[in-house]
A and B are shown apart, each in its own frame.
Chain A
Amino acid sequence: DAKTTQPDSMESTEGETVHLPCSHATISGNEYIYWYRQVPLQGPEYVTHGLQQNTTNSMAFLAIASDRKSSTLILTHVSLRDAAVYHCILRAMNYGGSGNKLIFGTGTLLSVKP
């Protein structure tokens, strides 16, 4: 899977809007962009995914650059519960080897202050 680059950490305050960037300069045309988040001692939680168009759900808005070389996960009105490590992962569209397993990096640690 192609590599993604994320900042190690970011800080925010409750109620703010947070933009979490992810760079994937070598993304191929058949790769989805996935976002997961994880808090200590729990399994990763699916946040969202997209291919080319921006997507939105109850958890977040995913903005994908027109050239797909970067994406930004946007969290609005963050609360303390949003504090977690956020992972940006590329996943092949097709039925791949190893079942298209997810390859997690170190992600971005988002801290939220009261």
Chain B
Amino acid sequence: DAAVTQKPRYLIKMKGQEAEMKCIPEKGHTAVFWYQQKQSKELKFLIYFQNQQPLDQIDMVKERFSAVCPSSSLCSLGIRTCEAEDSALYLCSSSQSTWGGDEQYFGPGTRLTVL
């Protein structure tokens, strides 16, 4: 079975603090995705890496987040200054490639609460 690991599972920050969450993709997977989900609503795409390079990201990520994949075995997503609206479940997923027939597997997520 595929296994994408995310740490920590739960994260509590005060408004204005920095937050960081990590993702270990499935071994051998070259594509890594980050999504945001608020209150069990629809997933929102944030950023996508291919072979550790960020190839697409939404404006919010460019402005307020920091994301890197320094190796194929570890990626991280950071928020420079947390705001209440950032409270959400952050999901990391990976796939062997970006070919449409390659399954994309998700981790359990990091639940961020900003007080």
Contact = CB atoms under 8 A, between A and B. Distances in A.
B98 interface: yes
Interface stretch (A19-27, A61-69, A92-100): A92-100
A71 to B, nearest CB: 16
A103 B101 CA distance: 15
B31 interface: yes
B105 A99 contact: no
B99 A95 contact: yes
Interface of B: 2, 4, 6, 31, 33, 40, 42-43, 45, 48, 50, 55-56, 89, 91, 93, 95, 97-101, 103-109, 111
Closest 3 CB pairs of A and B: A43-B106, A93-B100, A99-B48
A38 to B, nearest CB: 8
Interface of A: 30-32, 40-46, 49, 51, 85, 91-106
Contact of B109 (A43, A51, A85, A96): A43
Given A43-B91, A43-B93, A105 B109 contact: no
B22 to A, nearest CB: 15
